[in-house]
Structure 1
Amino acid sequence: MKAVIHNGKTGLQGLSFQEVPSKKPGYGEVKVKLKSAGLNHRDLFLMKNKSERDPHVILGSDGAGIIEEVGEGVKNVAIQTEVIIFPTLNWDLKENVPAVPEILGGPSDGTLAEYVNIPSQNAIKKPSYLSWEEAGVLPLSALTAYRALFTKAQLKKGEHLLIPGIGSGVATYAMFMAKAIGATVSVTSRSEEKRNRALQLGADYAFDSYSNWDEQLQEKRADVVLDSIGPALFSEYFRHVKPNGRIVSFGASSGDDLCFPVRSLFFPQINILGTSMGSCEEFHDMLAFIEKHKLRPVIDRTYPLEKVCEAYTRMQEGRQFGNIGIIME
C-alpha cells in the first residue's frame, strides 16, 4: 500500500511517500480502507522531536473509511461498514485519564496511508450527513474541543468563551460548539482575514491578538479562556477572565514555560485546567452533539496523499483556517 512515512529525521525533511507492506488485522482489530484523513499540529510536534534513532512511523491520527477486513474475535462491527476513526487508544471512560494519552499515528502507524489496522472499538459508524472529506478531518480536533469545553470547563448557555488564536481545527470546532449551546464567543488572531472569517462563521467579537485587550473587551470578561498558545499570551488572561473563571489549556504553540504573578491566580480564584485529546465515551458524546446540531468541519484545503508535505508546510506556516484534509483517491 502507499503511505506517508516519517523516517526519523527532524521535521518535514523526514517525510517520504512510498510503498509499504499492508498488514492483516490482528486479534480484535479491523482493517480500514481509508477514504480520507486529516492533519493535526500534533504531527508537526512529533516530527520536530524525531531523531534518526527513532523507528519509522506512518503519521496521521484522523481518518474515515470502509472496513475491509476483520480480525479474529471482532463482533461489534462488520465488513463494508462506513466508519470514522476514534484516534485515542486504550481510554474508555472520561474519568480514567491516562498519564500520557496514546494516539494513533505515533508510535503506532496512523492514517496517512491507503489502509490502517485499528482496534475494533476505535471504528465508529460514520455520521451519514458528513462527507468523506468532513469525516476524515473531524476526530482528534473535535474531540479535543468537546472535552475542553464540556468535560473540563463545563461551559454553559449564556457564558462568555474567549478563544485566542482562532484558525486551528480545535478552535473552530470550539467556536461552533459554544455557539450551538448559546454561549457568547470572542476570538483573537493576528490575521485580519482570519478574524473576518470567524465573524462570518458566527463569532460575536474578534480582535487582534496583540492589540489592547482592555479596549477590545472592556467589561466583557470571559467565563472561560480556551488556550493553545501558552507563554506568549497566558499572563494576559488573568485580567480578562471573571473571578472563579476557567482557563483551559490544550496546547503550547509559543513554548512550555509560563510566568505569571501567583496572586493573580489565587485572589480571584481562577481555575487552570489542562486537557488533551479525549476518551471513547466523550467521542461518542461528541458525535451525538455534532449530529444534533448538524455541525460541520471547516475544511481549509484538501490534498492528495502524495502531496502531504505541501499540506504540512501550509499548517506549519499557520496559513490555514480550519482543517487540512487528505484524500486517498
Structure 2
Amino acid sequence: MKAVILKERGPLGVFWEDVPEPEAPAGWAKVKMVAATVNRVDLYMRDSGAGIRHEMPLIMGVDGVGRVVEAPEGSGFNSGDPVILYPYEFCGHCRHCLVGNQPLCVTARILGEHRHGTFAEYVVVPARSLVKLRYGVNMEQAACLGVAYLTAWRMVFGKTEVTPGMVVAVQGAGGGVGYAAMQLARMAGARVIVTTSGEEKLEHFRSLGVDAIDYRVEDVPHRLGELTDQEGADIVIDNVGERTWPLSLRMLARGGHLITCGATTGAHPSADIQRLFVRQLSVHGSTMGSLEEFRRLVRAWEAGEFTPLIDRAYSFAEVPQAFQHLEDPVRMGKLVIRIS
C-alpha cells in the first residue's frame, strides 16, 4: 500500500512510497482510509519530535476517516461502514480510562506520533477507537474533526464550559484549532473576539459578525478592552504559545480563564505570576478530548450545528506541498489529504 513515511528529520525526510499492508490483531479493526488532514503536530514530528516516544520510519498523520474493511465480531461495525478514527490508542482499564478520560491514559499512544498514523491506504486500530458516521456524510469535512475540532471542543466545553453571554477571545483564529474554537464558542452562545492578520481574514471574520483584531498593527489587549467596556474576556483560547502568552493574560477579565493547547512559537513565556493571583486568573492545559466528547462533537457536526472550514484539498502524493502551505500565513482553516 502507499503511505507517507517520515524517515529522517526535515522536509527532505518525508517520502510517499509503498509499505506492507497492516494486519489487524484480535479485537482490532482495519480501515481503508478516505481522507485525513494536516496538523501542526505533523510539522513538529517532521522537524523535531522531541519528547514524543517514537521510532522511524514512521507513517505520519494523526486524524482521518475511512470505511471499515474488517472488524471483530460483536464490535458493532460492519464492512463498508463509514468511520472516523479517534486519535488515541488507549488501554481501557487504567483509572483515567475507567472514568472516561482517555487522553490521560497511562499507556495512550497517539496516531502519527507514538505509532503509525493515518497517511496510509489502510490503518489498523482497536475497534473501540472508531466512531461510526452516518452514510452519505461529507467525508472530507468529517476528516477535519479528529484533532483540530476535538481539541477545540474540550477547550470550549470541557475545561470551563462556555455559556451564553460569555466573552471568548481566540488567538490566531485563522488556524485549524483557532477557527474551530471560534465556531464552537459561537455555537455555545458566546460573544467571540478573534485575533488574526491580513485583510482577507479580517473581512472574513467580520462578515460572520465576529470582532476581529489585527495583531500586527493593533495593541491587542487595548483594543479588546475597548470592545468589552474594559471588562476583558472571560476566556482566552491560545494555541500560539510564547509570543501571545503575555497578551492573553492581559486580555482576561478578573477571574478569567486562559486555556492553552499549543506552543508553536515557543514553550517558555513569562508567567506574570502577580497578575495571576491579583486578578485571580486560572490557566488550563488541554489536549484533544475524550471518546465521549468526540462522539458529541461528531453528532453536533452531523446535526449541522457547524461546518468545518476547508482551505484546500491535496492529493495523497502532495503531502509535502500541504506541509508547506500549512506554514503559509494566508491559509485559513483545514488542509485535507484525499487518500482514496
> Residue type of the partner of 2:61?
G
Q: Paired residue for 1:282?
A: 293
Match of 1:147 among 137, 148, 154: 154
> Residue type of the partner of 1:35?
V
Once the two structures are TM-superposed, the CA of residue 261 in structure 1 deviates from its matched residue by: 2.6
Q: In the aligned structure 1, how far is the partner of 2:266 from the partner of 2:107?
A: 19
Once the two structures are TM-superposed, the CA of residue 46 in structure 1 deviates from its matched residue by: 1.1
Q: Does the 8 Å contact 2:141/2:310 carry over to 1?
A: yes
Q: Does the 8 Å contact 2:154/2:293 carry over to 1?
A: yes
Paired residues in the alignment total 325
Q: How does 1:289-308 map to 2 (within 5 A)?
A: 289-308=300-319
Q: Paired residue for 1:328?
A: 339
Change (3 A) 1:258 1:98: farther
Q: Paired residue for 2:28?
A: 29
Q: Does the 8 Å contact 1:88/1:103 carry over to 2?
A: yes
> Residue type of the partner of 1:88?
Y
> Residue type of the partner of 2:2?
K
Once the two structures are TM-superposed, the CA of residue 236 in structure 1 deviates from its matched residue by: 1.5
The answer as to 2:216 corresponding to 1:205 is: no
Q: Does the 8 Å contact 1:64/1:126 carry over to 2?
A: no
Per mean C-alpha deviation after superposition, the further-off stretch among 315-324 and 146-155 is 315-324
Q: In the aligned structure 1, how far is the partner of 2:300 from the partner of 2:308?
A: 13
Change (3 A) 1:74 1:151: same
Q: How does 1:1-329 map to 2 (within 5 A)?
A: 1-7=1-7, 9-50=8-49, 54-71=55-72, 75-90=75-90, 92=97, 93-94=100-101, 97-98=104-105, 102-128=109-135, 130-200=137-207, 202-210=208-216, 211-217=218-224, 218=226, 220=228, 221-329=232-340
User: Per-residue displacement from partner, 1:265-314 (whole Å, max 9, x unpaired)?
Assistant: 00110010000111112111222333344311101100010011000110
Q: Secondary structure at the match of 1:303?
A: strand
Q: In the aligned structure 2, how far is the partner of 1:2 from the partner of 1:311?
A: 17
Gaps of 5+ in 1: none
> Residue type of the partner of 1:204?
V
> Residue type of the partner of 1:312?
F
Q: Does the 8 Å contact 2:145/2:298 carry over to 1?
A: no
Q: In the aligned structure 2, how far is the partner of 1:158 from the partner of 1:279?
A: 26
Q: Does the 8 Å contact 2:36/2:119 carry over to 1?
A: yes
Q: Does the 8 Å contact 2:103/2:288 carry over to 1?
A: no
Per mean C-alpha deviation after superposition, the further-off stretch among 243-252 and 165-174 is 165-174
Once the two structures are TM-superposed, the CA of residue 199 in structure 1 deviates from its matched residue by: 2.5
Change (3 A) 1:168 1:128: farther
Q: Secondary structure at the match of 1:31?
A: strand
Q: Does the 8 Å contact 2:238/2:248 carry over to 1?
A: no
Once the two structures are TM-superposed, the CA of residue 127 in structure 1 deviates from its matched residue by: 4.1
Q: In the aligned structure 2, how far is the partner of 1:75 from the partner of 1:97?
A: 24
User: Per-residue displacement from partner, 1:25-61 (whole Å, max 9, x unpaired)?
Assistant: 111111111111111101111111159x942111111
Q: Does the 8 Å contact 2:187/2:305 carry over to 1?
A: no
Change (3 A) 1:84 1:269: same
Change (3 A) 1:215 1:104: same
Structure 1 length as normaliser, TM-score? 0.93
User: Per-residue displacement from partner, 1:105-126 (whole Å, max 9, x unpaired)?
Assistant: 1221111111111111111111
Once the two structures are TM-superposed, the CA of residue 100 in structure 1 deviates from its matched residue by: 8.3
Q: In the aligned structure 1, how far is the partner of 2:14 from the partner of 2:34?
A: 21
Q: Secondary structure at the match of 2:17?
A: strand
Q: In the aligned structure 2, how far is the partner of 1:243 from the partner of 1:146?
A: 24
> Residue type of the partner of 2:30?
K
Change (3 A) 1:246 1:214: closer
Q: In the aligned structure 2, how far is the partner of 1:95 from the partner of 1:110?
A: 18
Change (3 A) 1:11 1:99: farther
Change (3 A) 1:132 1:142: same
CA RMSD in angstroms comes to 2.0
> Residue type of the partner of 1:61?
V
> Residue type of the partner of 1:175?
M
Structure 2 length as normaliser, TM-score? 0.90
Once the two structures are TM-superposed, the CA of residue 214 in structure 1 deviates from its matched residue by: 4.5
Q: Does the 8 Å contact 1:164/1:209 carry over to 2?
A: no
> Residue type of the partner of 2:129?
N
Change (3 A) 1:29 1:169: same
